[in-house]
Chain A
């Protein structure tokens, strides 16, 4: 018993010492240098770590003469949003889906106006693309081939990956565009059937976009639906990762915003504001573009015009009457995607 107590005491003491050490360290740091906590989604991790953060640190040093360091966290967009909501003190939220930032606004962590003109809070763009096997052995040309009985399709689950919603949005929207071409009007019944025909071919729904790419690389499936930047990143790693940009596809827009509540608590608004503005500078935009994201800066967009072809029938949320309306239309309890899954379960 005595021994046990001694151990317990030692444990408590050890914890106390560790705790003190951390506190002392961080308060010292804050005096000599600024710290920015970045809460981002996983996909742009490489762009931030290898280019954008070091670039800003250099710029800030030249501008203010003080060092800036980053505390970074990369999670799935929805998880990151919820982490910040439940107390992770990120100064900047750079997420995949505008809805995930809007959630922080709704809960009072971000002041309204983060998505005001002209930037609209959108820092990067991408499009949904169709990845095929090297040499395209199944002869995939576009959306219609995804419904063929000999084609297996992969995409992450929109339930677990906010980013995957872009993909299901794209399939549904492509269905509407096809209906428009064939019948003259954007027929929801046509789009619904198309979504169902594609979903029928889906073999695996991984929990994130990255996991989906890994499964595809492990040899599952003939076609992978993913974001253009993800496919370009693979090509950057010198992998044979051919993809098609369909004529009709969804424009992905990724937001970034200051988390006002945390910035007020850390009293580091000056440096955080400078960092956020930096994300829209041609320098940072070029870095994003090198890592496969479509830039939002018009000048940089021109520079990379040959890398990023603009699809002829590109659509965004407005095509469906807004983000909230689309989210309800597809993923609600009586949503189209939800119903399609249930109907497919009866086919077996």
Chain B
């Protein structure tokens, strides 16, 4: 009986490894091989052209701006969903995942329609000189939409499992509500907030569908890395596309590494 169980475990494990290998690692490996089969020097040269660097810089800047907003709004949303009981809470809870279900191109078209210069919102904002779409603000807006679930969904379970005793103890000891939040709750939430932030950041690095519709795509101004890669592919500059792709891959990898460290840290905290 026992040996059968071990046998089964081995089978399952090798299946999982094979699957991950074929689905995830093989394509990444292929990008590497492609780089070396073209010309690594040329790929590197393409990566350091001003227009490629500008697209990477913009991608990272907008991703950071998105993360800064997301950690606050995401944590607040999770807090509200866990701590308050109100009519429509269940609906709100299921709405959180909606951005994952909408094709990102549709997201782009939707936001462009809502904030574009023809719309009511766009016209009112335009009167005050605020441009929501076809600008860098538009990129952040698109990113905020498509990455919204990450922070909420990583903070929410931690808050749900949270024992209120520590909070009550702090209150009894005379801590103000702000002190309770800053000194007791926030430290416990920090690892999950950071996990959500890292996930949304790496998701933002590769976002294409919504941004290509919403950003304007002017090189050096509103062209993000993914759109740049697409453009170089379309104009048959494989090396240009590979250079920026590899840079994005490297960033994502670093973030994964960071995420792993964070998770270890959060386990230690528990």
Interface check B249, CB cutoff 8 A: no
Assess the B134–A203 pair: CB atoms within 8 A.
yes
Assess the B116–A160 pair: CB atoms within 8 A.
no
Assess the A218–B116 pair: CB atoms within 8 A.
yes
Most chain-A CB neighbours within 10 Å: which of B112, B118, B219, B232?
Answer: B219
Q: List the A side residues contacting B50 at CB < 8 Å.
A: 342, 345
Assess the A219–B218 pair: CB atoms within 8 A.
no
> A218 — nearest CB in chain B belongs to which residue?
B116
How many chain-B residues does the 8 Å CB contact rule pick out?
28
> B11 — nearest CB in chain A belongs to which residue?
A1
Assess the B220–A159 pair: CB atoms within 8 A.
no
Interface check A84, CB cutoff 8 A: no
In B1-30, the 8 Å CB interface with A consists of: 8, 12
Cα–Cα distance between A103 and B234 once the two chains are bound (Å):
13
> B212 — nearest CB in chain A belongs to which residue?
A207
Interface check A220, CB cutoff 8 A: yes
Contact (A78, B235) CB under 8 Å given A157-B217, A207-B230: yes
Contact (A220, B234) CB under 8 Å given A203-B134, A204-B134, A342-B51: no
Assess the B49–A159 pair: CB atoms within 8 A.
no
Assess the B8–A1 pair: CB atoms within 8 A.
yes
Question: What is the distance, in angstroms, from B43's C-beta to the closest C-beta of chain A?
Answer: 14
Contact (A78, B234) CB under 8 Å given A207-B212, A344-B220, A345-B220: yes
Q: How many A-B contacts at CB < 8 Å in the complex?
A: 72
Assess the A160–B230 pair: CB atoms within 8 A.
yes
In B87-123, the 8 Å CB interface with A consists of: 112-113, 116-118, 122
Assess the B231–A157 pair: CB atoms within 8 A.
yes
Interface check B236, CB cutoff 8 A: yes
Q: List the A side residues contacting B217 at CB < 8 Å.
A: 157, 204-207
Assess the B116–A219 pair: CB atoms within 8 A.
yes
Interface check A47, CB cutoff 8 A: no
Question: What is the distance, in angstroms, from A344's C-beta to the closest C-beta of chain B?
Answer: 7
Assess the A341–B51 pair: CB atoms within 8 A.
yes
Interface check B142, CB cutoff 8 A: no
In B179-210, the 8 Å CB interface with A consists of: none
Assess the A338–B134 pair: CB atoms within 8 A.
no
Assess the B134–A331 pair: CB atoms within 8 A.
no
Assess the A205–B118 pair: CB atoms within 8 A.
no
Question: What is the distance, in angstroms, from A192's C-beta to the closest C-beta of chain B?
Answer: 17
Assess the B118–A338 pair: CB atoms within 8 A.
no
Cα–Cα distance between A225 and B54 once the two chains are bound (Å):
26
Interface check B221, CB cutoff 8 A: yes
Assess the B216–A160 pair: CB atoms within 8 A.
no
Q: List the A side residues contacting B116 at CB < 8 Å.
A: 218-220
Contact (A204, B212) CB under 8 Å given A159-B231, A160-B231, A218-B113: no
Question: What is the distance, in angstroms, from A335's C-beta to the closest C-beta of chain B?
Answer: 11
Cα–Cα distance between A79 and B236 once the two chains are bound (Å):
10
Q: List the B side residues contacting A215 at CB < 8 Å.
A: 112
How many chain-A residues does the 8 Å CB contact rule pick out?
31
Assess the B221–A159 pair: CB atoms within 8 A.
no
Question: What is the distance, in angstroms, from B182's C-beta to the closest C-beta of chain A?
Answer: 39
Assess the B112–A218 pair: CB atoms within 8 A.
yes
Q: List the A side residues contacting B134 at CB < 8 Å.
A: 203-204, 220
Assess the A76–B220 pair: CB atoms within 8 A.
no
Interface check A131, CB cutoff 8 A: no
Assess the B231–A219 pair: CB atoms within 8 A.
no
Cα–Cα distance between A211 and B235 once the two chains are bound (Å):
18
Q: List the A side residues contacting B212 at CB < 8 Å.
A: 206-207
Assess the A161–B51 pair: CB atoms within 8 A.
no
Contact with A along B212-240 (1 / 0, CB 8 A): 11001111110000010011101110000
In A292-348, the 8 Å CB interface with B consists of: 331, 333, 338, 341-342, 344-345, 348
Cα–Cα distance between A218 and B115 once the two chains are bound (Å):
11
Question: What is the distance, in angstroms, from A24's C-beta to the closest C-beta of chain B?
Answer: 30
Assess the B118–A219 pair: CB atoms within 8 A.
yes
> B54 — nearest CB in chain A belongs to which residue?
A345
In A94-111, the 8 Å CB interface with B consists of: 103
Q: List the B side residues contacting A161 at CB < 8 Å.
A: 234
In A156-190, the 8 Å CB interface with B consists of: 157-162
Q: List the A side residues contacting B51 at CB < 8 Å.
A: 338, 341-342
Contact with B along A66-99 (1 / 0, CB 8 A): 0000000000101100100000000000000000
Chain A interface residues toward B at CB < 8 A = 1, 76, 78-79, 82, 103, 157-162, 202-207, 211, 215, 218-220, 331, 333, 338, 341-342, 344-345, 348
- Having A203-B218, A219-B116, one finds 12 other A-B pairs with CB under 8 Å, namely A79-B234, A82-B236, A159-B231, A162-B234, A204-B217, A204-B218, A218-B117, A219-B118, A220-B116, A220-B134, A345-B50, A345-B54
- Name 29 interchain pairs, CB-CB below 8 A, sorted by A: A1-B8, A79-B234, A103-B236, A157-B217, A157-B231, A159-B231, A159-B232, A160-B230, A160-B231, A160-B234, A160-B235, A203-B218, A204-B134, A204-B216, A204-B217, A205-B217, A207-B212, A207-B230, A211-B213, A218-B116, A219-B116, A331-B235, A338-B51, A341-B218, A341-B219, A342-B50, A345-B50, A345-B54, A348-B221
Chain B interface residues toward A at CB < 8 A = 8, 12, 49-51, 54, 112-113, 116-118, 122, 134, 212-213, 216-221, 227, 230-232, 234-236
The 4 closest A-B pairs by CB, nearest first: A219-B118, A345-B220, A159-B231, A204-B216
